[in-house]
Structure 1
Amino acid sequence: MIQPKLQTFGALPAAQKVIAQSIDYADDTHEIAHIHHRSQLVYATTGIVRVVTPGGLWMLTPGHALLIGSQVEHELYMVGKVSMRTLYIDPDALPAGGAECRMLTVDALLRASLLGMFDSALDGEATAGSGAVPTRETLLVPLILRLLQLACARAPDKRLPLPVNARLRRICERLIAQPASNDTLEAWADEVGASARTVARLFRQETGMTFGQWREQLRLAEAMSKLAVGHTPGQIAQDLGYADVRTFSAMFRRAFGCTPQQFRQHLSETD
């Protein structure tokens, strides 16, 4: 079994409560499984990030960030060109307990504070007799930590659960890679060497959903990410294995209370 890579930052930044890093990724970039000693806040100003841990999948649509706990193994998949602004946070500076990952709504104040961590103009310049000038870290880190504390307190569980059972995990990973697959539960069960009845029981037991419900939730997550990077409903319907765009639109509206076009319009208004 390949051990996940441990990413560290050396001794110099060790005393900092928050380390800020800006990274740009090309479409379809994959960050292999790794862990950090610190918690990580993943936020994309453009593009979509899919985060996969041993216990779940999160799709970071615009206006959301993911707080990944310390020592939590995770992989990152980029959808579209991604401009990531990420913070590595001393776990002792965050609320104790809670889920391994938390999807947070990024409101205007939190967004401005996060982006301010990358604005060197906020460091200012010392003038004669003025004494020490606050840096962006001393100005913003206490505010960011307080805003994250508030956001964590109201963060719902937005993950798509992933099973631990090795045979179910194989099915889910194949579907994540090929969400358009319409293979039946019986076909998948035969492929992994189990009975359909066993697979159906384990899906309910480990994810709280039927196989069909899980696949639909995966497709909804994929649909949101594709809409966010400019794909048309017709393209998405074809990519996700729907018979036609009308069937896809009806499913989307049933789940979210709006059409794919309305959802995309809302995204453009919040950019």
Structure 2
Amino acid sequence: MKPVVIRNHKLPVVSVIIPALNEQRRIEAVIREAARVHPSTEVIVVANGSTDGTDRIATRLGAIVIHGEDPLGHDVGRFVGAQAAKGKVLLFIDGDMVIPSFQLAPFVRAVLSGVDFALNDYRGPIHHIPVHRVILSKHVLNVMLGRSDLKGASLTTVPHAISRRALKEIGAESLAIPPLAHTIAISKGLKVKPVHSIQVGKLNPRRVKKNNVDPLEAMITGDHLEAINWLMKQKGPRAGYSDLQRKRDKVR
């Protein structure tokens, strides 16, 4: 295989941020595709808690590698990577799925053309009964934000890209809780738009379930509740919606 060439520009146009935990089998292919997304690209691998040589492979390929002794989780990894990024566009992908560069390019183009948050227009299996709680949480949050048009599109799902301006507006630390960052962005009037659909449900490796329970489901739904709590603190207990004709003060 030809070595990938990553030019570490002082001021790159695109920063691709890749959290990775023990992804030695996939990380080379992930980096190769990331490096092709734009001629002026830096690739940042947040090797949080990796012990299998993921960081060494990334370094050999020319990526900027941020080491962490303990597993941080993908969301905190994105926050850490965003702090180090220099690009005008920050593109977030995961180290456990290989997405071709031509599928990543629409997210970059959207931000360069004025979109602040370019989302994956992936809605998940919405016709299953019952609807998965994570999918339901995404739809509910978007309705509460007055953006039912987004349906299940969310910052919880990769790939997504954000502008440098958006990062300053929401604060990099909010990326550690994707639904919160999503909520802050919409509340601040930033341009949030689904730009391309990638069926990540088919690409994402199956997670091991304990007692038939998805270990991430409770965490992600909890993140959505935290975002709703933030929204209610900003706009009141009905999140800005009117109480119509109800006279609650008359109830005894």
Q: TM-score, normalised by structure 1?
A: 0.26
The structure number with the bigger radius of gyration is 1
Give 1 or 2: higher strand fraction.
Answer: 1
Higher relative contact order (CA 8 A, sep 6+): 2
TM-score w.r.t. length of structure 2: 0.27
